[in-house]
Structure 1
Amino acid sequence: MINSTYIMPVRLPKPGLRNIDGHLLYLEHAGPHMATLSVVNDVLSSELTSAGQLVETMDLELFGKSLFIEHIIMISLYDEYIYHETLVHPALLSLENPEKVLIIGGGDGGALREVLKHPVGEVTMVELDRSVIEIVRKHVPEVPGDSFEDPRLKLIIGDGRKYVESCEEKYDAIILDVTDPYGQAVRLYTKEFYSMVRKLIGDGGL
């Protein structure tokens, strides 16, 4: 059988904002040979954080307010609820009485928002970049709501892997809400890391 698909080895344009024929567009790489263009209604913020990440928020024509980290879309108001609800509820609903939950990452607050809908006693969140939290709360506050004000939250700004390596606590559920495997996040996609995470899960936990 002859494969009629041929991918030409071309170099994609750099991702980011583009002005094409008077239209403001955002170019995002969707793979080594593919890119997408989104119409931008407004640039809400663009910041190189102290953690070394380029964090941008845009109001997109199709997806509404959206968060980008290193030119990759993380969430949009249009569909973030689908991701966060499916990330959290299947796990917590399968547990009889989850008391302690650990979230690694999740700086946009969406996973935290969903966890706090359950009668949990304590939620520990370990987020590498405080600026992500601050930017989302300012420019996309619809996602976290008032989750970061909840007294059940124990917020730790730091490296998720280092926290897991040194942690001696046990959790009923551990949720990983991290960026794609590039940069520092690569260390969160190894068998060694998941083995360490497993040791923090209490009896009957997930």
Structure 2
Amino acid sequence: MELWYTEKQTEEFGITAKIKETLVREQTEFQDLAIIDTTEWGRMLVLDGMVMTTVRDEFVYHEMVAHPALFTHPNPKHVLVVGGGDGGVIREVLKHPKVEKAVLVEIDGKVIEYSKKYLPEIAGELDNPRVQVIVNDGYMHIHEHKNTYDVIMVDSTEPVGPAVELFSRGFYQGIYEALKEDGIFVAQTDNPWFKADLIRTVNRDVREIFPIVRVYGANIPTYPSGLWTFTLGSKTYDPLQVDETGIPEIETKYYTPRLHKAAFALPKFVEDLIK
């Protein structure tokens, strides 16, 4: 007998993976949480029926959330990650020696707990002394910490359940105010095949707040459509003006200095979404 997990990405389309074992399944205070072991992608974190990360391809997402912004800001001492309880973005942030303190604010403590237990290669830096882990509402944290952070990264689920507010204009305005005068923020903004309206709306809202806005992409095979976008808003620094020859080599599997600018070269149909 074979067991398969299917994520229904739209009403008419989904992806499926063969399962070896279900490691944990729990209805937390905020969402349905599962960690399953698959034959193709290894251990997989699933929240409310959506694949959040797998041990095989997680490096793409986590590197591309962290490194474009951190190599654009010249002195990112204080970094905030909203969401991201699996710890992958934090792991990448700590590869930057200029970062003195990284704060993780995750609303669901169970994500942190089970990631540490079942996804140690992703969550392994959450106990690092440079990291402060806060189990709380990221939306509220932003609004309570004005002029605090050099870089803010929003590692959220799709805009359902507890993540809905993390795609609102009020949240982006709060991020602007929580950043220092030369701050940068980045957020995952889903895929252009199924969520074109979301990308268009987020881009419009962020442009009304930040003077510099750039969208970039990456290939993440276990995410809907495989083509994923990120939106970066900056008060001062433009990622396209970074001298790639000055970007130091760090241990990565996807991001490279040459990819820094190349990731911002979008397919025509994605460019048309954000004009």
Same-fold call, TM > 0.5? yes
Q: How big is each residue's C-alpha offset from its partner over 1:27-76, in whole Å with a ceiling of 9 and x where there is no partner?
A: 21111211222100111111112x23111111111111110001110000
In structure 1, how many angstroms separate the alpha carbons of the residues matched to 2:5 and 2:88?
A: 23
| Stretches of structure 1 lacking an aligned partner (at least 5 in a row) | 1-21
- 2:180 is paired with a residue whose SS is coil
Query: What is the DSSP-based 3-state SS (H/G/I as helix, E as strand, rest coil) of the residue aligned with 1:181?
Result: coil
RMSD over aligned CA atoms reads 1.1
Post-superposition shift, 1:169? 4.2
Matched, 1:36 2:38: no
Which residue of 2 is the match for residue 19 of structure 1?
Answer: none
- How far did residue 168 of structure 1 move? 2.8
Q: For 1:181, which of 159, 164, 168 is the aligned residue?
A: 159
Structure 1 consecutive aligned stretches of length 4 or more whose deviation exceeds 3 Å: none
1:143 equivalenced with 2:122 (yes/no): yes
Alignment match, 1:52: 30
Counterpart check, 1:89 vs 2:67: yes
Look at both structures and tell me which one has the larger radius of gyration over its CA atoms.
1
The 1:124/1:169 distance shift into structure 2, 3 A limit, reads farther
Deviation at 1:151, TM superposition (A): 1.0
1-side partners of 2:121 and 2:179: how far apart?
Answer: 31
Q: After the TM superposition, which of the residue ranges 55-64 and 28-37 deviates more from structure 2? A: 28-37
Q: Which of 177, 181, 186 is the aligned partner of 1:199?
A: 177
Q: Find the counterpart in structure 2 of residue 158 from structure 1.
A: 136
1:163 & 1:27 partners in 2: Cα distance?
34
**Within 5 A, what are the aligned runs for 1:122-133?**
122-133=101-112
Residues 161-183 of structure 1: CA distance to partner in whole angstroms, max 9, x if unpaired?
11112223421100000111001
How far apart, in 2, do the equivalents of 1:93 and 1:201 lie?
17
Matched, 1:26 2:42: no
Write the letter of the residue equivalent to 1:57. I
Amino acid aligned to 2:143:
E
CA distance in 1, matches of 2:58, 2:182: 29
1:134 maps to which residue?
A: 113
Structure 2 counterpart of 1:104: 82
1:121 aligns with 2:100: yes
Which structure shows the bigger proportion of residues in helix conformation?
2
Partner of 2:145: 167
CA–CA distance in structure 1, aligned partners of residues 135 and 21 of structure 2 = 30
Q: How many residues are matched?
A: 183
Query: Per the alignment, in what secondary structure is the counterpart of residue 83 of structure 1?
Result: helix
Aligned partner of residue 62 in structure 1, secondary structure: coil
Structure 1 stretch displaced more, 151-160 or 103-112: 151-160
The one-letter amino acid paired with 1:36 is I
Q: Which amino acid aligns with 2:137?
A: D
Name the CA distance, whole Å, in 2 between partners of 1:60 and 1:155. Answer: 29
Quick one: distance in 2 between partners of 1:87 and 1:36? 23
Q: Which residue type is aligned with residue 136 of structure 2? A: G
Q: Check whether the contact 2:146–2:177 (CA below 8 A) recurs between aligned residues.
A: no
- Paired amino acid for 2:79: V
Greater mean deviation of Cα atoms: 29-38 or 181-190:
29-38
Structure 2 gap segments, 5+ residues each: 185-275
Structure 2 residue identity aligned to 1:196: G
